Amino acid sequence: MFQQLSDFHEWFKQRAEANTYQISVVALDQLDGWGFDGDSGNLSHRSGKFFSIEGIEVATDHREVPTWSQPIILQPEIGILGILVKSFAGVPHCLMQAKMEPGNINGLQISPTVQATRSNYTRVHGGSSVPYLEHFLAPRAGRVVFDSLQSEQGSWFLNKRNRNMIVAVDDDVEVRDDFCWLSVPQLRELVHAENIVNMDSRTVLSGMSFLTGDTGGGEALHTTHELLSWFTEVKARYRLDRQVIRLSEVKDWIRSSDRISHELELFFNVIGVSVRASNREVMSWSQPMFQPTCQGVIAFVTRWIKGVRHLLVHARTEPGTGDVVEMSPTVNCSPENYRGLGRDQQPPFLDFVLAAPPERILVDVVHSEEGGRFYHAENRYQLVEADEDFPLEVPPDFVWMTVSQLTSFVPYGNHVNVGARSLLTCITRRPDLEEAA
């Protein structure tokens, strides 16, 4: 345990020095074990394991353009993202891991106690090589505080879900190398530091209601029934048709020997990465990754309504999510991808967020997305305060809800998208966020 956060930073620096790794971008046709299928052009591992990159064709009446096709990651396995929690002197602490992922900006980031694939956790014979996994498999000794299937990035993954778990234990837990206990107050601080707490941690922590908490008493603008009705209405109103196609059939994308890119250099590139890491044992592998071409903006607009802080939630359609929409931040996009489109095709409220003066930006931190699939995929997470002039009347696919209302939908899965969950974790209890204006 760390008395002060500076002690953690010292430990984290030591972990970075103890673990050496080397990451190089390589051509897609030089990835060891990976290859393009002769017929379909799909990119997959020769073992059939891990994931594959195929194409998807999308038709919808709820995005800036009505149809497109794009490469997408298929990884049907449900993995476990689990955080072990234990109280020390009455303060809950999370067992976190300093973990290298090839796509991380800083190499090491803080990740959950366990990140395991289904292949790991269903392995009946030979035991598991994943430390602490036994705490997350039934029958388990601990108390499950949070356990639900959550969607990941719908613009890059097709129907990808991970099992997000928080398990509380009372027994002693051995702390292995690269692991540490961080108290909930310390994590609250840390999520405001750039590129330290990884996406997997942020999504799991969104299920920890004592971390995000509620924003005071008072009455919400809408009841939970009204919010569910709004969500139902938006799902029934819009259409999302998608079809998996061959990677070779994807239009407007160009495959060279090096990489796959959009012809206008927008959205993302599919690149190859080669990794050599020493984490007690020497490991090396190579894999394809998605590399976004620019930084994204993930922002909630917030305002006081009837003395309670509300967030402006968007029902957002993405090609790879399980249903037509999920609850999303007000803005969730990479602005540069829209530079060629007309004014009426710009995402709603993007102008408002980009023009916000610094004193109106209550949360402002750059985090990266999952470093195992996405290479240097950074988003700027913001909470932008609107004043009383900001309209209460919003477009039909937006709704105002309180922080605790949005948090209450998280446990049901497939309600709150990954951007919103990640941002919820950054909207931690702070007096200046809670006190009525």
Closer residue to a copy of itself, CB minimum distance, 177 or 226:
226
In the three-class reduction of DSSP (H, G, I as helix; E, B as strand; rest coil), residue 259 is classed as coil
CA nearest neighbour of 137 among 210, 211, 84: 84
Closest separation in Å from C-beta 371 to a copy of itself: 23
393 to each of 235, 238, 347, 386, how far by Cα in Å? 20, 20, 17, 14
Q: Which of 15, 163, 303, 310 contacts a copy of itself by CB under 8 A?
A: 163
Closest separation in Å from C-beta 83 to a copy of itself: 14
Closest separation in Å from C-beta 139 to a copy of itself: 10
Q: Is 225 in the site for a copy of itself (CB under 8 A)?
A: yes
Closest separation in Å from C-beta 148 to a copy of itself: 5
Total residue length of the chain? 437
Q: Is 146 in the site for a copy of itself (CB under 8 A)?
A: yes
Q: Is 244 in the site for a copy of itself (CB under 8 A)?
A: no
Closest separation in Å from C-beta 188 to a copy of itself: 22
Q: Which of 27, 91, 141, 149 contacts a copy of itself by CB under 8 A?
A: 149
Closest separation in Å from C-beta 5 to a copy of itself: 30
The interface region with a copy of itself, picked from 62-70, 232-240, 294-302, 347-355 by CB under 8 A, is 232-240
Q: Is 214 in the site for a copy of itself (CB under 8 A)?
A: no
Q: Is 185 in the site for a copy of itself (CB under 8 A)?
A: no
CA nearest neighbour of 288 among 111, 99, 106, 73: 73
Q: Which of 144, 244, 341, 436 contacts a copy of itself by CB under 8 A?
A: 144
Q: Is 179 in the site for a copy of itself (CB under 8 A)?
A: no
* Contacts with 235 (C-beta within 8 Å, 6 or more apart), sequence order: 315, 323, 324, 325
Counting DSSP H helices and E strands in the chain, the numbers are: 10, 25
Do the beta carbons of residue 333 and residue 347 sit within 8 Å? yes
Closer residue to a copy of itself, CB minimum distance, 149 or 283:
149
Which H/E stretch holds residue 364? strand 361-368
* Contacts with 387 (C-beta within 8 Å, 6 or more apart), sequence order: 303
DSSP string, 1-69: --SSHHHHHHHHHHHHHHSEEEEEEE-GGG-TTEEE-TTT--EEETTS-S-EEEEEEEEESSSSSSEEE
Q: How far does Cα 379 stand from its chain's mean position?
A: 10
Q: Which of 322, 361, 364, 434 contacts a copy of itself by CB under 8 A?
A: 322
Q: Is 35 in the site for a copy of itself (CB under 8 A)?
A: no
Closest separation in Å from C-beta 12 to a copy of itself: 32
Indicate the DSSP class of residue 343: G
Q: Is 229 in the site for a copy of itself (CB under 8 A)?
A: yes
Q: Which of 226, 249, 265, 351 contacts a copy of itself by CB under 8 A?
A: 226
Do the beta carbons of residue 400 and residue 391 sit within 8 Å? no
Closer residue to a copy of itself, CB minimum distance, 139 or 358:
139
In the three-class reduction of DSSP (H, G, I as helix; E, B as strand; rest coil), residue 288 is classed as strand
Query: How many binding residues for a copy of itself (CB under 8 A)?
Result: 26
Q: Is 148 in the site for a copy of itself (CB under 8 A)?
A: yes
13 to each of 16, 22, 200, 296, 412, how far by Cα in Å? 5, 17, 21, 28, 37
Q: Which of 24, 307, 396, 435 contacts a copy of itself by CB under 8 A?
A: 396
Q: Is 65 in the site for a copy of itself (CB under 8 A)?
A: no
Q: Is 78 in the site for a copy of itself (CB under 8 A)?
A: yes
Give dist(CA 76, CA 52) in Å, integer. 10
Give dist(CA 278, CA 276) in Å, integer. 7
- Residues at the contact surface with a copy of itself, assessed by CB under 8 A: 78, 80, 118, 138, 144-149, 163, 165, 225-226, 228-229, 232-233, 235-236, 322, 396, 411-413, 415
